[in-house]
């Protein structure tokens, strides 16, 4: 484990060193790529002003609002569609029609329906996330070993016991994987919404910085997004380890 951490830190240090050398020696003009020092100074200024913390908090609030709503809708619906064919037959046409639509295509309609307030940002995260959680949940439910289901049936398990003791534990690893993957998608959704119609948030910060020609501030916003997602992913991994104790020895 220490070797893995050492390799990871070494790779990051090498990239930062190459970046510093390339910008310091003039191989790359600051117009196209500011130096690490410039980015750090810009981050320091916006952090001390308090704006950066506010933007991170607003974006995080919007992401988890829409993401939690999407999970609450899609996980139960996905399990139902995975175990009951009539439900899948009813929903499949709508899933097929909505799946190709990126979240940005919903921005004009949500602005007309909801204005440009917080509910519109949450709605964009929801419509951009729910379909992916649903698909992961359906596939995870369908992949539960049918031998386990038949064995539980033969032992006299009721429908409720079969769902709670066999299907959900069997599908849970795939469902959690889908939730983790979709979290990054949720961030891309909120950023697109904030860039178009928001006064705060990391998306608005990046868009303003672009308009000002401040590429260092753009990079600050991008780094903050990455760090926030990494922290959320770390928390999700810890939750996953608690929920899936039988998977611990199989996961690195």
Count helices and strands (H / E) in the chain. Answer: 11, 0
The confidence score (pLDDT) of residue 130 equals: 94
- The mean per-residue pLDDT over the stretch 136-148 comes to 89
The confidence score (pLDDT) of residue 79 equals: 92
List, in order of start, the domains of the chain with CATH numbers. 34-250 (1.10.3720.10)
The confidence score (pLDDT) of residue 251 equals: 52
d(CA 178, CA 139): 10
pLDDT per residue over 224-245, tens digit each? Answer: 998 998 898 888 888 888 877 7
The total of other beta-carbon atoms located within 10 Å of residue 91's CB is 16
The confidence score (pLDDT) of residue 71 equals: 95
Query: Which residues have CB under 8 Å from 174's CB, separation 6+?
Result: 136, 137, 139, 140, 143
Phi-psi region of 136 (alpha: psi -120 to 50; beta: other; left: phi over 0): alpha
Query: Which residues have CB under 8 Å from 21's CB, separation 6+?
Result: 27
The confidence score (pLDDT) of residue 146 equals: 83
pLDDT per residue over 90-137, tens digit each? Answer: 999 999 998 888 888 898 899 989 988 899 999 999 999 999 999 999
Average of per-residue pLDDT values in the chain = 88
d(CA 101, CA 98): 6
The yes-or-no verdict on residue 248 having pLDDT over 70 is no
How far apart, in Å, do the first and last CA atoms of the chain sit?
9
Q: Which of 218, 236, 204, 210 lies closest to 121, judged by CA?
A: 204
Q: Is the pTM of this model over 0.95?
A: no
The yes-or-no verdict on residue 62 having pLDDT over 90 is yes
Percent of the chain topping pLDDT 90: 44
The yes-or-no verdict on residue 153 having pLDDT over 90 is no
Q: What angle do CA 229, 233, 234 make, to 5 degrees?
A: 120
Confidence bin at 215 (pLDDT 50/70/90): very high
């Amino acid at each position: 484990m220490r070797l893995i951490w050492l390799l990871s830190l070494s790779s990051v240090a090498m990239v930062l060193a190459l970046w510093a050398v390339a910008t310091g020696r003039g191989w790359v003009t600051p117009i196209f790529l500011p130096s690490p020092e410039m980015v750090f100074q810009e981050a320091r200024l916006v952090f001390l002003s308090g704006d950066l913390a506010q933007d991170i908090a607003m974006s995080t609030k919007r992401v988890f609002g829409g993401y939690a709503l999407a999970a609450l809708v899609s996980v139960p619906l996905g399990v139902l569609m995975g175990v009951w064919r009539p439900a899948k037959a009813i929903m499949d046409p709508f899933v097929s029609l909505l799946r190709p639509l990126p979240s940005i295509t919903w921005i004009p309609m949500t602005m007309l329906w909801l204005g440009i307030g917080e509910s519109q940002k949450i709605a964009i995260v929801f419509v951009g996330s729910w379909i992916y959680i649903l698909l992961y949940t359906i596939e995870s439910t369908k992949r539960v070993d049918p031998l386990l289901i038949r064995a539980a049936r033969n032992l006299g398990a009721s429908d409720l016991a079969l769902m709670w003791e066999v299907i959900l534990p069997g599908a849970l690893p795939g469902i959690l994987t889908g939730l983790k993957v979709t979290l990054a998608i949720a961030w891309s959704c909120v950023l697109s919404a904030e860039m178009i119609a928001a006064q705060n948030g990391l998306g608005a910060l990046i868009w303003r910085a672009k308009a000002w020609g401040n590429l260092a501030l753009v990079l600050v916003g991008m780094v903050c997004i990455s760090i926030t997602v990494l922290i959320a992913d770390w928390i999700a991994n810890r939750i996953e380890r608690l929920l899936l104790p039988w998977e611990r020895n199989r996961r690195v």
